[in-house]
Amino acid sequence: MAAGTHEAILSAASALMRSARWAEAGQLLAAADDPAGKAEVALARAQLAVEVHQWQGAGDPAAALDTAAARTGDRADPGLAFDLAVLRLFSDYWAELVPGDGRPPFFGPEGRDPAVLDELDRRAAHLAATASDARRRARATFYAGIIADNLRAEPERAEELFTQALAACRPGADDDYAAEALRHLGGCAQAAGDLTLARERWERSAALAGQAGWLPLVLAQQALLADLSADQGDLAGARTLAAEVHRWATALHLTRLATQAEAILSR
């Protein structure tokens, strides 16, 4: 397989994943038969497994991550090794945040092993410090922020990390990562009582996620905006937006988002 064709397949698979078409992305990656690119394909399949687990609550990404680790180990490519380490960090973070029995995410350090939280924090800090470019640094710094915010209950430190992650994003090139940083910075503004700033950040996050073609994140942002509208007294607007989120989330089997939209509709 020509190098250009191989890269085109990986790019197309990434675009399919961003649009929540994970089955089609998996089929495309399964057809990628270039022996020289087996590490990149394995990493993409691990990314797919992690995303399906995150957004649909299905499957276990452990085997795909292990396969990617075995194949990446055959390549002297520090970029691939870094990307796999970041992906595994997120997978471990998600396993800590979301119980495996269908319950919603569990926030804060209470009831958690401090050693586990310290290890996740250390790994994120190391990755942020050793990133070879701005995009990788933005991603690792963002993960350090969500670990600080959602697991360690360190909101001030988390806000600083989200701000650093956003600053590392290049306009047009890193809109996906900027959208995530703004999503969580909007949460910081909401926690501080500044609902106007929260809305501004969340609307910008939704716009950037749309520009990046990241459909699940667009829907997640719309759910936050619907909830915020309800908090500000616009129940009709909140329900209209939540109904649209619910339709899309149900069609795409995004179970957590569908449940979130249902809760808004019942307000």
pLDDT mean over 40-68: 95
171, HSE (Cβ side, Cα atoms, 13 Å): 1
User: Do 118 and 81 share a structural domain?
Assistant: no
User: Do 117 and 93 share a structural domain?
Assistant: no
Q: 5 falls in which pLDDT band (50, 70, 90)?
A: confident
Distance CA 36, CA 44 (A): 14
Letter for the amino acid at 21?
R
The pLDDT of residue 76: 62
pLDDT digits (tens, 9 = 90+) for 229-266: 999 999 999 999 999 999 999 999 999 999 999 999 99
Q: 2 falls in which pLDDT band (50, 70, 90)?
A: low
Distance CA 21, CA 165 (A): 27
With a CB cutoff of 8 Å and minimum separation 6, the contacts of 149 are 155, 158, 159, 162, 184, 187
* pLDDT above 80: residue 186: yes
* pLDDT above 70: residue 18: yes
Q: Which residues of 14-42 are buried (b: 16+ CB within 10 A; e: fewer)?
A: eebbbebbbeebbebbeebeeeebbbbbb
Task: Specify if 15 maps to a domain.
Answer: no
Task: Specify if 185 maps to a domain.
Answer: yes
* pLDDT above 80: residue 101: no
User: Do 249 and 168 share a structural domain?
Assistant: no
| Long-range contacts formed by 217-225: CB under 8 A, 24+ apart | 217/176, 217/179, 217/180, 217/183, 219/245, 219/248, 219/249, 219/252, 219/254, 219/257, 220/183, 220/257, 221/179, 221/183, 223/257, 223/260, 223/261, 223/264, 224/183, 224/186, 225/199
* Mean of per-residue pLDDT scores for the chain: 93
pLDDT mean over 89-108: 89
Picking from 5-19, 26-40, 134-148, 208-222, which range would have the lowest pLDDT averaged per residue?
26-40
* Predicted model pTM: 0.93
Picking from 27-41, 79-93, 120-134, 234-248, which range would have the lowest pLDDT averaged per residue?
27-41
Letter for the amino acid at 232?
Q
Picking from 165-169, 171-175, 215-219, which range would have the lowest pLDDT averaged per residue?
171-175
Task: Specify if 104 maps to a domain.
Answer: no
Parent domain of 154:
113-205
User: Do 173 and 137 share a structural domain?
Assistant: yes
DSSP output for 165-185: HHHHPPTTTSHHHHHHHHHHH
Picking from 14-23, 101-110, 182-191, 203-212, which range would have the lowest pLDDT averaged per residue?
101-110
Task: Specify if 2 maps to a domain.
Answer: no
Residue that is last in its domain, among 184, 205, 226? 205
Q: Which residues of 196-214 are buried (b: 16+ CB within 10 A; e: fewer)?
A: eebbebbbbbbebbeebbb
User: Do 223 and 183 share a structural domain?
Assistant: no
- The domain that contains 144 carries what CATH number? 1.25.40
Residue that is last in its domain, among 183, 205, 227? 205
**Tokens matching residue 154:** 């360190």
Distance CA 96, CA 116 (A): 9
Distance CA 267, CA 263 (A): 7
Distance CA 19, CA 212 (A): 10
Task: Specify if 9 maps to a domain.
Answer: no
Residue that is last in its domain, among 99, 124, 153? 99
Distance CA 171, CA 54 (A): 26
Task: Specify if 14 maps to a domain.
Answer: no
User: Do 93 and 60 share a structural domain?
Assistant: yes
* pLDDT above 90: residue 193: yes
Query: In angstroms, how far is CA 29 from the centroid of its own chain?
Result: 21
Name the domain count of the chain: 3
Task: Specify if 41 maps to a domain.
Answer: yes
Task: Specify if 186 maps to a domain.
Answer: yes
User: Do 201 and 228 share a structural domain?
Assistant: no
Letter for the amino acid at 201?
R
pLDDT digits (tens, 9 = 90+) for 121-163: 999 999 999 999 999 999 999 999 999 999 999 999 999 999 9
User: Do 246 and 176 share a structural domain?
Assistant: no
